[in-house]
Amino acid sequence: MITMTFESSLQTVNARMDAACQAVGRARHSVQLLAVSKTFSADAVAQIAALGQRDFGENYIQEGVEKITALAALGLTWHCIGPVQGNKTRLVAEHFDWVHSVDRLKIAQRLSDQRPAGLAPLNVCIQVNIDGGAGKAGVPPNEALALAQAVAGLPHLRLRGLMTIPEPAPDFAAALAVHQAAKALFDDLCASGLDLDTLSMGMSADLEAAIQAGSTLVRVGSAIFGSRT
């Protein structure tokens, strides 16, 4: 029964992504779906994985590591999308494939230093506080280039792009404007010579606006797994 529900919710999200790409003439493969599994069980992840979804995102590092360990045999790709404190960098470096939420050089240096030699470089996005919310995680937009350049020079990281978590927008136009600001910053960084391929933005509520603006990866939790209690 649960699998039936996940099947239809995953299909609905993929259909929304198809329609959003089609509406603006983007190739469907230019946008990737990250299933955000925070608070949901390893068993729920395994059910979604059985439907063909390969990339999963976790906010809470310890919780993520437990699922990564439990599901190691499935060969999934795991993305850390939550805040990374200095005392958690080793767990992230040893277990995850991606981290979207780097906003300080010190954390990036620790991740690079602690990435085990036998693993591929850790894929990294710089989190940008694109709408300037007070007290929010993310580097201010005008500091993104300098941080990105520094991260790009670290040996065991691979800088992939930017990530944003804007405040919920009142309507589509407002969501689009914020996502367009992130896309403009992303384009500026590319024009500065950085080799970036990932713009991580858009969630359950605003993935259409994010795709219209140029997102390459939408992070979707509740629209796949159901609401979090």
Ligand X SMILES: *Cc1c(COP(=O)(O)O)cnc(C)c1O
Contact residues: ligand X, CB under 6 A: 36, 38, 59, 81, 165, 203-205, 219-223
- Closest to ligand X by CB, 136 vs 156, is 136
Backbone angles phi, psi at 28, to 5 degrees: -60, -35
**Least Cβ distance, residue 56 to ligand X (angstroms):** 11
Q: Given 3-state DSSP classes, what are the helix, strand and coil percentages for the chain, each rounded to the nearest 5? A: 50, 20, 35
**Least Cβ distance, residue 117 to ligand X (angstroms):** 29
| Residue 190 near residue 148 (C-beta atoms within 8 A) | no
- Closest to ligand X by CB, 124 vs 203, is 203
Helix (H, G, I), strand (E, B) or coil at 100: strand
**Least Cβ distance, residue 100 to ligand X (angstroms):** 7
**Which single residue brings its beta carbon nearest to ligand X?**
221
Helix (H, G, I), strand (E, B) or coil at 84: coil
- Closest to ligand X by CB, 59 vs 114, is 59
**Least Cβ distance, residue 229 to ligand X (angstroms):** 12
Cβ-in-10-Å burial (0-12, 13-18, 19+) of 57 comes to buried
User: CA distances (Å), 221 to each of 38, 78, 146, in order?
Assistant: 8, 14, 31
* CA distance between the termini of the chain: 20
**Least Cβ distance, residue 224 to ligand X (angstroms):** 8
Please give the biggest Cα pair distance in the chain. Answer: 51
- Closest to ligand X by CB, 141 vs 221, is 221
- Closest to ligand X by CB, 101 vs 112, is 101
